[in-house]
Amino acid sequence: MDRIGVIISKSNDPAIGDKQFEIVERKGIGHPDSICDGIVESVCNQLCRVYKDNFGRILHHNIDKGLLVAGRSNPRIGGGTIVEPMRFIFGDRATSEFQGVKIPISEIAQEAAGTWLKKNLRFINPEVHMLFQNEIRPGSSELVDNLLREEIGANDTSVGVGYAPLSPTEQVVLAVEKWLNSATFKQSFPECGEDIKIMGIRSMNRLQLIVAIAFVDLFIKTAQDYFDKKQFFQSEIKRYIASLQMPFTEVNVEINSLDNPAQGEAGMYLTVLGTSAESGDSGEVGRGNRVNGVISYNRPSTTEAAAGKNPVNHTGKIYNILSHRLAAKVYETVDGIQELTIWLCSRIGDPLGQPVVTSVEVKPLPGVHVHDLEGPITAIITDDLAHLELFMEQIQLGKFTVF
Give the C-alpha separation, 49 to 150, whole Å. 21
Residue 141's pLDDT is what?
A: 66
Domain around 218: 170-284
Q: Based on the structure, what is the number of domains in the chain? A: 1
Question: Are the beta carbons of 272 and 216 closer than 8 angstroms?
Answer: yes
Query: 278: which DSSP letter?
Result: G
Is the whole-model pTM more than 0.85? yes
What is the maximal distance between C-alpha atoms in the chain? 68
In a domain? residue 345? no
In a domain? residue 278? yes
In a domain? residue 394? no
Closest to 211 in 3D by CA, of 176, 260, 162: 176
In a domain? residue 347? no
**CATH number, domain with residue 181:** 3.30.300.340
In a domain? residue 222? yes
Query: Where does 40-170 show beta strands of DSSP type E?
Result: 61-69, 72-74, 81-84, 86-94, 97-98, 101-102, 130-134, 159-164
Helix (H) or strand (E) holding 10: strand 5-10
Q: Tell me the mean pLDDT per 10 residues along the chain, length 403.
A: 87 94 98 98 96 94 96 97 98 93 96 98 98 91 68 90 98 98 97 98 97 98 96 97 96 96 89 96 96 97 93 94 97 97 95 95 96 96 94 89 93
Residue 258's pLDDT is what?
A: 94
Give the C-alpha separation, 15 to 73, whole Å. 45
Residue 146's pLDDT is what?
A: 64
Give the C-alpha separation, 359 to 379, whole Å. 14
In a domain? residue 70? no
Residue 4's pLDDT is what?
A: 86
In a domain? residue 201? yes
In a domain? residue 127? no
Question: Are the beta carbons of 284 and 68 closer than 8 angstroms?
Answer: yes
Residue 3's pLDDT is what?
A: 79
Helix (H) or strand (E) holding 255: strand 250-255
